[in-house]
Amino acid sequence: MKSHTLLMPLDMHLHLRDGVMLETVAPLTSYSFSGAVVMPNLVPPITTKEAVMDYKKRIYAALGRVEEADDLLMADDFFEPYMTLFYQNYDRSFLEEVVDEIAAIKLYPAGITTNSEGGVSTFDLETMRATLEAMGDLKIPLCVHGETDGFVMDREAEFMSIYEMLASNFPKLKIIMEHITTQAAVEMLDKYPNLYATVTLHHLLMTLDDVAGGMLQPHLFCKPIAKRPEDREALLHVVLNAHPKVMFGSDSAPHPQHAKESCGCAAGVFTAPIALQVLCELFDAYGKLDNLQQFISDNAQSIYGICPEFKEVVLVESPFEVPEHYGNVVPMYAGETLAWSISDVE
């Protein structure tokens, strides 16, 4: 039986939500990942130091951990939530106060995705300069949902000029192009030394045809939307060949089943419980299993300068039947059988 071991898997773009949903989905990531960058687009969004720390406590509670005095009593799974702030024009003194509590700041264009109404409406450099320069000085990465409000298939490509503007004007600022989906974004990677990217599992597997080419598949609908075959091929090329500026970010985005299977269809694909199994299958199919460690952990450690908790995950080429539901959330490939499964986590 073929097996493969991954060390300290990291998910560099994850939605854990809050409340009952948080309690449902957080353990599904913490079981097999050493850490994850947690998105701040709650309602209301995470914009203060107190909100960051309170949310982290709720995540720990969902994982069965409690804080007593200065000690953290940990459950069996070692997992670090790397916290983020929702981008606003913060002043330097605030950033200096919060820098040790966060891994990054996440920028959303206003209204472009779930709970982003309070995002940036105009990319005015002079208005943003003090914040972005302070972030560069303090080595706080800027994670960006890179889409305009144009035609849905062109939104990411249209955003490339904004990435260029940010990268050229703030060379000390580390900029993460989140969940890239296009050949244009792949080509942007090597134009500026301070540009990096996350890539999701579902964008490595899908094109728009899988979402809407036949019967509409609501559980595959996401933002940014899946693109063309040539875009998927460009993503596969850099990921499978372990491009050092590319790292895994699932953008696993759980919604209740009723919110997905409705006329409003919430955007998001829930992949957290199957990510490692499917990635093993994908990399193995291309004869690139040896490169998966870089994509799933090593590149992220280098880009973010982090040292995650030790975790060894052993996967084997043995069938795994994906549950129809996790709580009230339907995962990608629900009810289907995957070729790889997790056999051991240490």
d(CA 111, CA 284) in angstroms, rounded, equals: 38
* Domains detected in the chain: 3-345 (3.20.20.140)
- Spacing of C-alpha 9 from chain mean position: 13
pLDDT along the chain (346 residues), means of 10: 97 98 98 98 97 98 68 63 98 98 97 91 94 98 97 97 98 98 98 98 98 96 97 98 98 98 96 98 98 98 96 98 98 98 97
Which two structure tokens, joined as six digits, stand for 137?
């000085």
d(CA 178, CA 120) in angstroms, rounded, equals: 16
What per-residue confidence (pLDDT) applies to 86?
Answer: 98
- pTM to 2 decimals? 0.96
d(CA 269, CA 220) in angstroms, rounded, equals: 6
Task: State which amino acid sits at residue 278.
Answer: V
- Spacing of C-alpha 131 from chain mean position: 23
Return the SS3 of 201.
Answer: helix
For residues 280 and 292, is the Cβ–Cβ distance under 8 A? yes
Cα 39 to Cα 87, 158, 266, distances in angstroms:
11, 24, 17
Task: State which amino acid sits at residue 30.
Answer: S
> Comparing C-alpha atoms, which of 212, 331, 223 is closest to residue 268?
223
| Active site annotation includes 209 | no
Which two structure tokens, joined as six digits, stand for 133?
């320069």
Neighbours of 273 (CB within 10 A): 23
d(CA 268, CA 203) in angstroms, rounded, equals: 12
> Comparing C-alpha atoms, which of 116, 62, 113 is closest to residue 88?
116
What per-residue confidence (pLDDT) applies to 67?
Answer: 53
∠ CA 22-37-241 to the nearest 5 degrees? 125
d(CA 259, CA 342) in angstroms, rounded, equals: 30
Residue with tokens 């993503």, as numbered in its chain: 235
For residues 309 and 74, is the Cβ–Cβ distance under 8 A? no
Which one of the listed residues 11, 77, 251, 298 is annotated catalytic?
Answer: 251
